[in-house]
Amino acid sequence: MTTAHDCIRIALDRRTFLVASGIGYCGLHLPSLASAAAPTTNGRQRKSARSTLLIWLSGGASHIDTWDMKPDAPAEYRGDFKSITTSAPAIRLCEHLPLVAKQAHNLAVVRSLGHYGRGTGDHHAGYYYNLTGHEPDPTFRALLNDRKPLLGDWPFIGSVVAAKRPVHPYLPQLISLPENPGFPQYTRPGQFAARLGLEYDPVFVMGKLDRPTEFIVPSLALEGDVDVRRLQSRRDLLHVLDNAERLLEKRTDGLSRQQERAFALLTAPQSKSAFDLTKEPLAVREKYGATINGMSMLVARRLVEAAVPFVTVFWMGDPKLDAKCKSGGGWDTHGNNFNCLRDNLLPEFDRAFASLLGDLDDRDLLDETLIVVTSEMGRHPKIGDVRSGGLGGGGRDHWTHCMSVLFAGGGIRGGQAYGASDKIAAYPDTLPTAPEDIAKTIYHAMGIDDLETVDREGKPFQLLADGTPLKKLF
């Protein structure tokens, strides 16, 4: 039996580049899903978003120190930062987000998101719940961060969008960059197509901290003995596909269609061009910031400009920050929370994200591009994580009972706050919201209301039965 680990191993094998490109054959293979019409609002047809760009702040961003600050809370909760006014009267943000504050009129901040005891408080369950909209099953509680992705998992929101939207003429439906989170130690569940089949897995575009303008697209890079001449040979292309098929010991339907699709992706000149940042003026690159996360947001802008249906930017942590922040280099600030946010994380995010919003707005792309900023959890409202020195360590532990999500574009009405947390940002207070509601809101923005599909036996099932879209945001 092919395991999830086998799928991941094969996807990273150069010889089976079509698997890495999301054109492979691991797991269930389902028929293409029909694109849904845009939903109606007050009897009128609403224009759906063309693309979704999900920015994932890996590790768990501190909501109480960024977009849901509590200036009147006791010092042991509110911390060191002050809140500032923004371009939207309803939104106040952290003082270390001055550039984003100027874009707040484009933002909707959901401040009442919680997991309601359905997760484990660990990263794997947080990834899975927020990336799929489905409550983690009991194996997450039993295995915690040892729980690997399984073929029977519920699919990533982006995979559902990829399956539901019309096929892009020359680029993949779903692209994630600049890394595959959790690899190689372990791979976070929730970011794969799982039971939808590997055809709807993301293409992982890899970047490096020390060379932020260079991106490697495994499915579009010809390495070793696979050169252009060889690729042009249909016989060799079929040979590679057949090898991948034999590795998985499984035949699937629609093989010829997938072969043609893979060949088109690998040979289209527009494919590589979309990732070429040398085509951007130096001034634009400098505006985003010369970091891997800044350049990833710039690549993401190029991809939504090219109408890729779903793009995910997983924030790449810097290992040099691990000792300082006890965080793996990302937003998991178990120690030194305030210095890490003020000196490192917030300035990088502020510059890149504000530039992205302004860029999309200037290019008249914001209304047709849904932007979502979230992570696997929030941070503990009370300062002091016992695992990193308690109060003296200045960190915040994991907290899944309350967190925030940012929305922009895609028909969202900017300048609003949706829901509220309690006086110390510990629990939702008004308009409580769950990850399934966030998932349904993304589908609604993308014009996807029909989430029914069929399994291998042709039996219908719902990809997400729970949850309600937050239509008041639109």
CATH number for 351: 3.40.720.10
pLDDT of residue 260: 53
**pLDDT tens sequence across 138-164:** 999 999 989 999 999 999 999 999 999
Identify the H or E element spanning 238.
Answer: helix 234-248
Range of the domain at 216: 24-221+272-473
Side-chain half-sphere exposure of 152, counting CA atoms within 13 A: 4
pLDDT of residue 197: 87
> What's the CA gap between 452 and 179, in Å, rounded?
31
Strands 452-454 and 460-462: antiparallel
Top pLDDT among 216 and 259 is at 216
Top pLDDT among 23 and 258 is at 258
pLDDT of residue 221: 53
The mean pLDDT of 442-455, rounded to a whole number, is 94
Indicate the range of 134-148, 221-235, 355-369, 389-403 predicted with least confidence: 221-235
pLDDT surpasses 80 at 31: no
> What's the CA gap between 342 and 132, in Å, rounded?
31
Domain total in the chain: 1
pLDDT of residue 45: 64
In the structure, what pLDDT confidence band is assigned to residue 375 with cuts at 50, 70 and 90? very high
Pull the structure tokens for residue 390: 């308690």
pLDDT of residue 7: 37
In the structure, what pLDDT confidence band is assigned to residue 217 with cuts at 50, 70 and 90? confident
Q: What is the mean pLDDT of the chain?
A: 84
pLDDT of residue 272: 75
The share of the chain scoring above pLDDT 70, in percent, equals 79
> What's the CA gap between 351 and 120, in Å, rounded?
33
At which residue do the structure tokens 């550039």 appear? 99
267 domain residue, yes or no: no
pLDDT surpasses 90 at 415: yes
In the structure, what pLDDT confidence band is assigned to residue 184 with cuts at 50, 70 and 90? low
The mean pLDDT of 63-71, rounded to a whole number, is 97
1 domain residue, yes or no: no
Top pLDDT among 339 and 248 is at 339
Identify the H or E element spanning 124.
Answer: helix 123-132
Pull the structure tokens for residue 101: 């504050």
The mean pLDDT of 320-338, rounded to a whole number, is 95
The mean pLDDT of 229-250, rounded to a whole number, is 46
Pull the structure tokens for residue 304: 């939504």
pLDDT of residue 218: 64
Pull the structure tokens for residue 52: 């979704």
Three-state SS string over 333-348 comes to CCCCHHHHHHHHHHHH
The mean pLDDT of 187-199, rounded to a whole number, is 92
pLDDT surpasses 60 at 200: yes
Pull the structure tokens for residue 180: 């595959």
3 domain residue, yes or no: no
pLDDT surpasses 80 at 245: no
Strands 403-408 and 107-113: antiparallel
Q: Are 379 and 399 in contact (CB under 8 A)?
A: yes
The mean pLDDT of 190-197, rounded to a whole number, is 93
pLDDT surpasses 50 at 244: no
12 domain residue, yes or no: no
Q: Are 199 and 24 in contact (CB under 8 A)?
A: yes
pLDDT surpasses 60 at 332: yes
Pull the structure tokens for residue 55: 């920015």
The mean pLDDT of 447-457, rounded to a whole number, is 89
**pLDDT tens sequence across 286-310:** 999 999 999 999 999 999 999 999 9
DSSP string over 304-333? HHTT-SEEEEEPPP-GGGHHHHSSTTTT--
pLDDT surpasses 70 at 90: yes
Pull the structure tokens for residue 400: 């899944």
Q: Compute φ and ψ for 334, nearest 5 degrees.
A: -70, -25
462 domain residue, yes or no: yes
In the structure, what pLDDT confidence band is assigned to residue 14 with cuts at 50, 70 and 90? very low
Angle (CA) 208 209 210, round 5°: 95
pLDDT surpasses 50 at 3: no
259 domain residue, yes or no: no
pLDDT surpasses 60 at 5: no
Indicate the range of 41-50, 90-99, 260-269 predicted with least confidence: 260-269
Q: Compute φ and ψ for 455, nearest 5 degrees.
A: -90, -170
Q: Are 151 and 28 in contact (CB under 8 A)?
A: yes
291 domain residue, yes or no: yes
Strands 310-314 and 51-56: parallel
pTM of the full structure: 0.85
231 domain residue, yes or no: no
Indicate the range of 160-174, 236-250, 268-282 predicted with least confidence: 236-250
Handedness of CA 184, 188, 193, 194 (dihedral sign): positive
299, 274, 346, 364: which is closest to 53 by C-alpha? 299
pLDDT surpasses 50 at 311: yes
Indicate the range of 33-47, 338-352, 364-378 predicted with least confidence: 33-47
pLDDT of residue 255: 41
Using CA atoms, how far residue 303 sits from 276, 309, 461, in Å, is 11, 9, 31
pLDDT surpasses 80 at 40: no
- Cα Dmax for the chain: 70
> What's the CA gap between 328 and 345, in Å, rounded?
13
Which segment, 9-13, 22-26, 247-251, 436-440, is predicted with the most confidence on average? Answer: 436-440
> What's the CA gap between 306 and 203, in Å, rounded?
16
